[in-house]
Amino acid sequence: MLCWLRDFVLPPAACQSSYSQLVYEILFEDLDRNGDGVVDIMELREGLRNWNSAFDSDSEKTILQAADSNADAGLDFEEFVQYLQDHEKKMKLAFKSLDRNNDGVCMYSPQLA
Ligand SMILES: [Ca+2]
Ligand SMILES: [Ca+2]
């Protein structure tokens, strides 16, 4: 689904930190459908389903509760990045499943390719 990202995010020589930052920004923009700078529960649910149908129906609640550090029922970009950094390994697994042609090239994969 998001494998088109590789055309923008690669080459693998890109610095890992700026690469991650770029991925976070693209993911956040992808989730924030109405562009108000906050990902609410509905946007999160829709986004997770679009990314990977393996996310179960409570995933968005779990993520929102864990990531919404100021408890305003929405994720701003800083909260989103913090969550991804805290859960990077788990998210990598999820993103890896997006690699439909199994060429090892998708999200976060330059160091694996
Ligand atoms: Ca929004
Ligand atoms: Ca928040």
What are 6-17's pLDDT values in tens digits?
555 554 544 567
The class that CATH gives domain 16-96 is mainly alpha
Paired residues of 75 in beta bridges: 39
Q: Which residues have CB under 8 Å from 4's CB, separation 6+?
A: none
Question: What's the 110 CA to ligand 2 centre distance in angstroms?
Answer: 31
Ligand approaching nearest to the C-alpha of 78: 2
Q: How many CB atoms lie within 10 A of CB 59?
A: 16
What are 30-79's pLDDT values in tens digits?
999 999 999 999 999 999 888 777 778 788 999 999 999 999 999 999 99
User: Per-domain residue ranges for the chain?
Assistant: 16-96
Q: Which two tokens stand for residue 109?
A: 């994969």
Question: What's the 13 CA to ligand 2 centre distance in angstroms?
Answer: 34
Paired residues of 74 in beta bridges: 40
What are 15-43's pLDDT values in tens digits?
567 778 888 999 999 999 999 999 999 99
Q: Which pLDDT value is given to residue 75? A: 97
Paired residues of 64 in beta bridges: none
